[in-house]
Amino acid sequence: MTAGSGQTSHTRVAAALRTMIETGELQPGDQLPTQEELTAEHGVSRTVIRQAMATLSAEGLIDRVRGGGTYVRVKRPVFHISATYVTQQGDEPRATWTTEAAKHGLVGTQTITYVGETIANDEIASLLGIAPDSSIYTRKRIMEINGDPVQFADSYYPYHIAHGTELARTAKLRGGTIASLERLGYQLGNCHEIVRARPATDDEKRMLQLKDGVPVLVQRRTTYTTDGIPVEVSVSVLAGDRHEMHYTLPAHA
């Protein structure tokens, strides 16, 4: 039960380095000893050192730079996502990606990557309350902060709602999709939001520039009219290290 206890060599090395990071002996941004140095220090092969570092990297504690060394990971600034994109406050204009970013001194932009008619998969059909394989309209966009892509946002509309409207055209919608639905005459009531976390896929890692171990948040939102008819389903995938979801709820409904 000495300081070096543990099942395996790489577990012991990982624990030793983890402790140095957790106690602050190594600060965010600090460089770790090189793999060669650690090999000598712990009297193990480089394979063991690399296994330990893979563990710490997956835990989000370190970053390894090919040719440049290994460093304690620095947390990236977190962007607050609140339901104000949907929930309008009194007579104020509805918040948009750009206005919310500006509030935090950031530049929020978006790129529309696809708008068109598609076939609803089971999940979207179920959320929209329509038959699977129904025709729908799909809008796909990538949201960026200071030029970095940080979020994918796809919206889905029943065919008859979007057909022939601005929702079916490849152009930005003034005030966002919710404002657009209201312009089309829909009285919006509640929306239902589901948030999950999961490991990033290979594509997401590349597109969102996610470091080792960083998960994604998946937000699924269905917006209903006051009559309870679903008019929009939105599925967003957000970089897990850059986003926080904020909600304000009443203690009594």
Partner DNA sequence: GAGTGGTCTAGACCACGCC
Partner DNA sequence: GCGTGGTCTAGACCACTCA
Judged by beta carbon, residue 9 or residue 155, the one nearer DNA is 9
Interacting partner of 106 out of its own copies, DNA, none (Cβ under 5 to 8 A depending on kind) = none
**How crowded is residue 90: how many other Cβ atoms within 10 Å of its Cβ?**
4
Q: Which of residues 157-186 bind its own copies (CB under 8 A)?
A: 178
> What does the block give as tokens for 12?
């012991």
* Region of 59-67, 94-102, 182-190, 195-203 interacting with DNA (CB under 7 A): 59-67
Shortest gap between Cβ of 37 and its own copies (angstroms)? 23
Q: Give the binding-site size for DNA (rule: CB under 7 A).
A: 24
Shortest gap between Cβ of 71 and DNA (angstroms)? 9
Q: Between vectors from CA 61 to CA 203 and to CA 65, what angle results, nearest 5°?
A: 65
| Residue 124 burial (10 A CB sphere; 0-12, 13-18, 19+) | buried
**How crowded is residue 89: how many other Cβ atoms within 10 Å of its Cβ?**
9
**76 makes contact with its own copies (CB under 8 A):** no
Q: Give the binding-site size for its own copies (rule: CB under 8 A).
A: 48
Shortest gap between Cβ of 253 and its own copies (angstroms)? 5
Q: Which of residues 152-191 bind DNA (CB under 7 A)?
A: none
Judged by beta carbon, residue 61 or residue 115, the one nearer its own copies is 61
**83 makes contact with its own copies (CB under 8 A):** yes
Per CB under 7 A, the list member of 21, 26, 56, 70 interacting with DNA is 70
Beta strand 69-72 with 230-239 is unpaired
Residue 122's SS3 state is helix
Closest listed residue to residue 167, CA positions, set 183, 152, 153: 183
| Residue 75 burial (10 A CB sphere; 0-12, 13-18, 19+) | exposed
* Region of 37-45, 78-86, 133-141, 143-151 interacting with its own copies (CB under 8 A): 78-86
Q: Between vectors from CA 99 to CA 94 and to CA 103, what angle results, nearest 5°?
A: 120
**73 makes contact with DNA (CB under 7 A):** no
Closest listed residue to residue 31, CA positions, set 45, 44, 21: 21
Distance CA 104, CA 7 (A): 47
Per CB under 7 A, the list member of 21, 48, 130, 210 interacting with DNA is 48
Judged by beta carbon, residue 51 or residue 109, the one nearer its own copies is 51
Sign of CA dihedral 155, 159, 165, 170: positive
Positions touching its own copies (CB under 8 A) are: 18, 54, 58-60, 78, 83, 86-90, 178, 188-202, 212-217, 223, 240-241, 243-253
| Residues making contact with DNA (CB under 7 A) | 8-11, 32, 34-36, 43-48, 50-51, 53, 64-70
